[in-house]
Structure 1
Amino acid sequence: MNEKQLDKVKNGKGFIAALDQSGGSTPKALAAYGVNEDAYSNEDEMFTLVHDMRTRIITSPAFDAQHILGAILFEQTMDREIDGMYTADYLAEKKGIAPFLKIDKGLAEEANGVQLMKPITDLDETLKRANERHIFGTKMRSVIKEPNEEGIKAVVDQQFEVAKQIIAAGLVPIIEPEVDIHSGNKPACEQLLKDELLNHLDQLKDDENVMLKLTIPTEANLYRELIQHPRVVRVVALSGGYSTTIANEKLKENEGLIASFSRALSQDLNASQTDEEFNSALEKAVHSIYEASI
């Protein structure tokens, strides 16, 4: 593990940028960026276009270590290059930003009010490649829709089971049990989730540390105990479909919680913008998310 990156992620001021749209969400991300489906004829062309978008974001002067602690990458992004360097090396060496990798394979069908992760059948191989590519940490997402104790326990059990394999590989796992912002009983989901997370965190050994990526809670500062827990490197918040403005407002209410936004970071970016327009729009988003995070 890179101790310098660990110190930055744990103690630095800033936020984690989420650039990890995968196969299923890539067409939507490209469309929001102004690249429609008629611009590509197969998956390879689609992934090349989305890498071009991510490259433009990462190489922008607005995307800097003063405001951004880490960036979460999609697996294909990890294996592609920026200016002749693998993406993670470019982030770490040129930008001073810690690289993370999305490792989940998507969501299973809903059961007991939740969606577990699909099995990660090639986890050992993925972690080996992540180390070869100088990745600092990983991220994996589940979704909670209803305050079902059995379902929420299953989500957290699965997340921590995989997290221990990631820790054993020398990486820092971001555990992401997202609570759907459209849930009919979001506060009850969040309370059950908090209790289950604390139960698992208390069972970790002194050398087993994790990060948490959570939906901004309805009750401000609900997750204070998680943020202060000795086994937690950092608690970051997903935007969950909120606009940048609303996500930032909600984030500011929660002391110690920092952003890990995807759509809220890139919502005003467009392929047709000049470099000056693009960099200006990105700078505005970066600064607003940074201010909400500190």
Structure 2
Amino acid sequence: MVAIEVVDLALAYGELRAVDGVSLDVAEGEFVGILGPNGAGKTSTLELVEGLRRPDSGTVRVLGESPWPRNPRLLPRMGVQLQASSFFERLTAREQLRTFASLYAVSAGRADEWLERVGLVEKAATRVGDLSGGQAQRLSIACALVHDPELVFLDEPTAALDPQARRNLWDLLVGINEAGRTVVLTTHYMDEAETLCDRVAIMDRGRVLRFDTPAKLVRGLDAPTRITVAPGPDLERLRVVPGVGDVVATPDGTVLTTREPTLVLTGLAERDLLDGVQVHTGTLEDVFLDLTGREYRA
């Protein structure tokens, strides 16, 4: 079953084509990530799918229905965490979450359970305006999930989170997904996308450049393997190893570049040079930079 179907979606702000012919589909129970530089169109695409904006052209189907104009049948089935959330600043964290829960007829007790799940029990009586950025982010995620939606949209959910909170949120999202929920998130963290996502869409300038599993995206990258050998061996001895391309000495060891890693590792083993060897293949970050470039974005 298809949870989200997007066909040739477009949205412009004046002369800027924020979303320029995006097509993608998300299966029920799938975990999908959307990656891209600042201004790539990630958030605008999510807002169109969520029904927060009207597309200029193209079609969107969410759980079998159109999200625009605002569809009241879809609202209780979706959970949305926006990139920037607005709260009632004089309410406490508990009051804020219970207010969101009441909109969906969720009991106060279940709302309080979510404070524990996002690690905010000790801040339950703290006014929202006094929460740190990371704490407010966790509260925003709890508000998006408190009614147990079928489909969850998260826009950079781990921004401003410390490493512990980030990993705990990963565990929470994996559990939600394994329970059958469909999850779509945007992120700037490549390791997050590789760890969590079944498939990843890489966007730039309003278009989807690639959409596949992280493993297939990396395998499709035409990038050499880097093999680091511990300091010690003579460089000329390494250059004659079959399959070796460039040889570069660094303070941490000698880096061998190759497109035939098996051949090189076999040659190193024959020369008894495998101690401390490290093999670095392509990563999702390499794919991202190859597709979108390295220049600074506003």
* TM-score under structure 2 length normalisation: 0.35
Rg bigger for which structure?
2
* TM-score under structure 1 length normalisation: 0.36
